[in-house]
Structure 1
Amino acid sequence: MKKIVILTSALFLGVALMAYLYFSRLGIENNAKDLALQSATNNAALVFSFQNDKGFYNIMEGQELIQQVLGQDKMSLLTQLKTSIIDDNTLNRYIKDQQVYISVLPDTNKTLNFLITIQLSPEHDIKKFYDQLKSKAAISQNSKNIYSVKLNDNQSVFMGVQSQVITVSTSLKLIKDASIRLTENPFTEFIKENNHQIKNVLAHVYINFNQAPLLLKSIIAGNINGEIAVFDKQNSYAILNYNFSKEKILFNGNTQLKDPNNYLKLFENTPAQNTTIQNILPDNTANYVMYAFDDYAKWLGKLNNWQQQNKTAEQSSTVIKNIKDQYRVDLNTIFPVYTKNQFVTFQLSTTEKLGAIALSNGEKVRQLLLDVSADYNEDIKLFKSSDILVSYFGEPFKKFGKPYYTVIDNNLIVANNASTIQVFLNNYKNNRLLIQTPQYLDAINQISNTSNVNYYINTKNSSAIFRDNIQMPFYKHLRADSGLKSFDTFCYQLSADRDKFITNLLLNKYLKPEIPDSLSNR
């Protein structure tokens, strides 16, 4: 009996040891496979990823829209790298079928640059790859593990070599940074958790909103505020899949919010909605952010909890109480009763900012608000007290402290100037609306007709805003015929799916329908 116990114990220990060794080795192998991903994602807000397969390059050669987005200089670099390495069978066998990562990172002097990262196949040796490359190109050592590689008479790059990982960039700074960045990070973990669910995808885009401020500081000419403040200190990640098209650039996937205090958390676990409030926007709308939920009473409960977490609940309660004491108007019998399921903030091409809230009975709301309002004219009123709307709708209405407003066709429209409201009314009454423009109709037909949050930019109407807020090199690329000028719409659409958002990212170019010669000659 004693022998049986000893044998059984020994067998158990042996199995446990073998399992430990197996999984330890598996973990080491997996960590080794992740080195390129770790290097590519650290400090990067945007990473483009694809498999080094000739089929991918054949497809992308026909995607002129991507080439326009990247610009001539960046496209020239990628083309030369493909010619020098990918098209060379001897060199390409070291990295065949491996994932290629192109990270967009801030560089010196308020510029952005690419860091290209790839990991050698496990069966190949990094030294042999270097020897092969040295026999085909002019290489000189810059410092430890960093080399200068001359691709042709006009193009040189820096190359970092470390632990089977190769990094390439025209920026020495990015290569040096990459050489000390082979560490696990939350962005890497997010990608690994989500990538295993995706098969047969041509390419991915990974977005780390934590790093977006560093990227934006290289692009914008001022502080991160106003309409882009949403990207400041937002602990969120997105993984999006590229859908090939010659007519548009479309990615879809999901966005996850990691910060429990994020305002957008109020729209999680809420059914996506069919929205109509965007149909009232003027045709010179430059951008908008639209929000939708299924039931305002439930959503208001979420907002109240959010205000408690962010220590603004007491301020909102004070606003509501003071109005009740001073004007004998109980706002809790107005907004919670007559608010529908959607609202929007938007900006015109003239930079003026407005907000709109959908109501179930606009005429009733107009009457109930009379005692807390001052007359500007028959159509336009002014709230006598501040922070009414932010108390009931939160962060998007912070910019409208004590606004002018009008109520029209069951919509409450607000702005900080009466003249802005008048401009809106003139456009609305004369049917000069965004929904009437073919460019807008074409864009919204490319994405889902239901959502919870929708960011929209009309690039043509935003031209003056871009000119005043974006560094000149980026503005020139936006307005260049060879750049982004022909793209008319950017849209980032979020639809709640439990604790994440199904996401569509669209960069659209409206192609005017061709008129047959037989008709145009009539």
Structure 2
Amino acid sequence: MKKIYFILATLVILISGMSYMYFSTLNKAGVQADLSLELVSKNAGFIFSFQNDKSVRNILSGQALLNNLVGEEKVVALQGLQAALQHKEMAPLFEGQDVYLGIYPSEQKRLDFMVAVQLSPEANEKLLNESLKRSGLALKPYATYQQVQLSANQTYYVLIQQRVVLIASASSVIDKLIASPKDNSEADFISFIQKSDRLGKNSLANLYINFKQLGSLMRSITPYFNRAELALLNKQHAYARLTYNFSKEKVFFSGETKVLNSDSYFSLFANLKPEKIELDKVLPANTASYTLFAFGDYKTFHTGLQKWFATKKEDKNVQGKIKAINEKYRLNLDEVFLRYTSSQAITVQLQNKQKLAAIKLNSGEKVEQLLLDLSEDYDGEIRELTEPDLLYYYFGEPFKSFKKPYYLIINNYIIFAAYPSSLLDFRNSYQNNNLLVLDKTYGQVYKQLPLSANILFYLNNRKAQNIIINTIYPEYYNQFRSENGLKAFDSFVYQLSGDQGTFQSNVLFSLPPATTATLRVEADSLLVR
């Protein structure tokens, strides 16, 4: 009996020892993976991650559309780096490890990148240097780190920290990293990624977006990031985790977007139920882009809007302005908007750069009557609001640029524009059935997405091409104009659906269908999709 107890005790000790060693190894690997992520996340607006596994690499290398997103110049650079890391002398050093690719802004109006990957358990820094030499490459001292020359046109900068190898396309990326070694400002972003990684370990690849860094990134691309629609994306404390979905016909990511700052306009929609998109069916065929907001019950949204004004310390000013207008015109503006606003609002930019806004109403006739004293006639149907900022007071940030707009009510829709000519063009398009929803390319886009959402960004690359070119720096012209670049895509959509404080998200870059003929149907037979 004592012998049996002795054997059992020995087994318990052996199992405990093996378990300790196993989980210690796992924990050590986890710490290294966390360090890779921590280092690459500093100053990065976008992070793309995947496992350095041959099967994964083979799948991703066959995704030609990803190359269109990255651009020809960056593709060449990444292919050169990939070839070096997959050399027979180098490949075993990184096999099976998580790879993080960060995208960073540059003062030279370009985007730089840095790869972070840890050495495999059997490898070390000495073995890395020996493998580089055997593969025909060599690390050379540069500042306080090193550089490696892959070709006459490809120089990379290398920093090795605690078995994590960082390879950057520009020395400035590593310089900024070294300059703030104890910077912990991205701790929340890292925690968000780690939590998401645990939930999506089986995904082919993941894209992470740090909206806090998006401003710096976009200012490397355009000088107009603080203007109009783009300003909504600036200074957002928000993160996105998006899983790449394999397809040779589109680039599609799905996942989660989380808004953390309470003064963000987007936070008003995070707890709302997704609504079937309907307001797009009145948009003209020459729509280049739009942002749609579906709030469902407007009274609920209005309550949240008042809290949003309070976070911005504008609530008393807004209430005072509304009170003054009510007294001046003997109106009750709350009665007009809370009673007769339906479920959706939208801002639109047309191919000719004109801008519109629209709101879905419960009763166009009632609103038309109630706004008579608050407006001046232009042509019998088109009128101009006489008081400024009404749209901002009742619909918030996206409508702030519509100060004293002209408006037109058609059926149960009210359309706004800065100039009456824009509304004359809109009316002509609507009456002649020249509408966006009848364009086959537009219909194809929404066959690939859910029909319900709370916030939806849509851009037609073909119709917005001139607007984009006039917005970005010349250094990016080729990327947007090239058939091997973004010109290959017909449309871009970022779809956000409220989900108990966060957003279920879809990002789509769609290709044009085989034929782009426009369908013509009778106006009274319009279907949302």
**Common fold, TM-score beyond 0.5?**
yes
SS of residue matched to 2:441:
helix
What's the CA shift for 1:28? 6.5
Amino acid in structure 1 at the alignment position of 2:352: T
C-alpha distance in structure 2 between counterparts of 1:413 and 1:32, whole Å: 55
What's the CA shift for 1:160? 1.9
2:15 aligns to what?
none
What's the CA shift for 1:326? 1.5
Do 1:487 and 1:509's aligned partners in 2 also have CA atoms closer than 8 Å? yes
What's the CA shift for 1:496? 0.6
1:378 aligns to what?
380
Could you say if the C-alpha distance between residues 145 and 33 of structure 1 is closer, same or farther in structure 2, counting changes exceeding 3 Å?
farther
* RMSD of aligned alpha carbons: 2.3
Do 1:450 and 1:495's aligned partners in 2 also have CA atoms closer than 8 Å? yes
2:265 aligns to what?
263
What's the CA shift for 1:514? 11
Alignment of 1:138-149 (within 5 A): 138-143=137-142, 146-149=145-148
1:242 aligns to what?
244
2:359 aligns to what?
357
Q: Deviations over 1:393-441 (max 9, x none)?
A: 1111111111110100200111111111111111111111111111111
Could you say if the C-alpha distance between residues 151 and 431 of structure 1 is closer, same or farther in structure 2, counting changes exceeding 3 Å?
same
- Structure 2 residue corresponding to 1:396, chosen from 395, 398, 418: 398
1:40 aligns to what?
40
- State whether structure 2 residue 61 is matched by structure 1 residue 61: yes
SS of residue matched to 1:206:
strand
Could you say if the C-alpha distance between residues 95 and 363 of structure 1 is closer, same or farther in structure 2, counting changes exceeding 3 Å?
same
What's the CA shift for 1:181? 5.8
Worse-superposed segment, 430-439 or 216-225:
216-225
C-alpha distance in structure 2 between counterparts of 1:33 and 1:113, whole Å: 22
C-alpha distance in structure 1 between counterparts of 2:142 and 2:483, whole Å: 41
- State whether structure 2 residue 512 is matched by structure 1 residue 510: yes
C-alpha distance in structure 1 between counterparts of 2:144 and 2:116, whole Å: 15
Q: Deviations over 1:309-341 (max 9, x none)?
A: 212222222232222212112112211001111
2:165 aligns to what?
166
What's the CA shift for 1:21? 13
C-alpha distance in structure 2 between counterparts of 1:181 and 1:100, whole Å: 23
C-alpha distance in structure 2 between counterparts of 1:484 and 1:242, whole Å: 18
SS of residue matched to 1:219:
coil
1:387 aligns to what?
389
2:315 aligns to what?
313
1:114 aligns to what?
113
SS of residue matched to 2:346:
strand
What's the CA shift for 1:66? 0.9
C-alpha distance in structure 1 between counterparts of 2:21 and 2:206, whole Å: 34
Do 2:242 and 2:256's aligned partners in 1 also have CA atoms closer than 8 Å? yes
C-alpha distance in structure 2 between counterparts of 1:305 and 1:154, whole Å: 54
What's the CA shift for 1:114? 1.5
Amino acid in structure 2 at the alignment position of 1:121: S
- State whether structure 2 residue 93 is matched by structure 1 residue 100: no
Could you say if the C-alpha distance between residues 424 and 395 of structure 1 is closer, same or farther in structure 2, counting changes exceeding 3 Å?
same
Could you say if the C-alpha distance between residues 180 and 424 of structure 1 is closer, same or farther in structure 2, counting changes exceeding 3 Å?
same
Uncovered stretches (5+) of structure 2, i.e. residues with no partner: 1-19, 518-529
What's the CA shift for 1:174? 1.7
C-alpha distance in structure 1 between counterparts of 2:260 and 2:378, whole Å: 44
2:79 aligns to what?
79
Do 1:241 and 1:253's aligned partners in 2 also have CA atoms closer than 8 Å? yes
Percent identity of equivalent pairs: 36
What's the CA shift for 1:142? 2.4
Do 1:69 and 1:483's aligned partners in 2 also have CA atoms closer than 8 Å? yes
C-alpha distance in structure 2 between counterparts of 1:508 and 1:470, whole Å: 22
Alignment of 1:198-277 (within 5 A): 198-277=200-279
Amino acid in structure 1 at the alignment position of 2:287: T
C-alpha distance in structure 2 between counterparts of 1:33 and 1:61, whole Å: 23
Alignment of 1:178-197 (within 5 A): 178-179=177-178, 184=184, 185-197=187-199
1:125 aligns to what?
124
What's the CA shift for 1:71? 1.7
Worse-superposed segment, 358-367 or 59-68:
59-68
Q: Deviations over 1:359-390 (max 9, x none)?
A: 01111110111111110111100111111121
Worse-superposed segment, 110-119 or 126-135:
126-135
Do 1:286 and 1:461's aligned partners in 2 also have CA atoms closer than 8 Å? yes
Could you say if the C-alpha distance between residues 222 and 361 of structure 1 is closer, same or farther in structure 2, counting changes exceeding 3 Å?
closer
C-alpha distance in structure 1 between counterparts of 2:26 and 2:115, whole Å: 27
C-alpha distance in structure 2 between counterparts of 1:322 and 1:83, whole Å: 69
Worse-superposed segment, 126-135 or 291-300:
126-135
Amino acid in structure 1 at the alignment position of 2:233: F
C-alpha distance in structure 1 between counterparts of 2:358 and 2:224, whole Å: 27
2:4 aligns to what?
none
Q: Deviations over 1:259-317 (max 9, x none)?
A: 01111111121110102101111111111110112211111111111112212222222
Give the number of aligned pairs.
Answer: 496
What's the CA shift for 1:144? 6.0
Amino acid in structure 2 at the alignment position of 1:143: Y
C-alpha distance in structure 1 between counterparts of 2:382 and 2:102, whole Å: 50
What's the CA shift for 1:469? 1.2
- Structure 2 residue corresponding to 1:407, chosen from 406, 409, 433: 409
SS of residue matched to 1:210:
coil
Could you say if the C-alpha distance between residues 27 and 276 of structure 1 is closer, same or farther in structure 2, counting changes exceeding 3 Å?
same
Worse-superposed segment, 55-64 or 290-299:
55-64
Do 2:112 and 2:170's aligned partners in 1 also have CA atoms closer than 8 Å? yes
1:461 aligns to what?
463
SS of residue matched to 1:233:
coil
Q: Deviations over 1:37-84 (max 9, x none)?
A: 011111000011111011122112321111122122211122222222
Could you say if the C-alpha distance between residues 210 and 92 of structure 1 is closer, same or farther in structure 2, counting changes exceeding 3 Å?
same
Could you say if the C-alpha distance between residues 447 and 85 of structure 1 is closer, same or farther in structure 2, counting changes exceeding 3 Å?
same
Uncovered stretches (5+) of structure 1, i.e. residues with no partner: 1-19, 516-522
Amino acid in structure 2 at the alignment position of 1:239: R
Amino acid in structure 1 at the alignment position of 2:290: Y
C-alpha distance in structure 2 between counterparts of 1:22 and 1:98, whole Å: 18
Worse-superposed segment, 353-362 or 476-485:
476-485
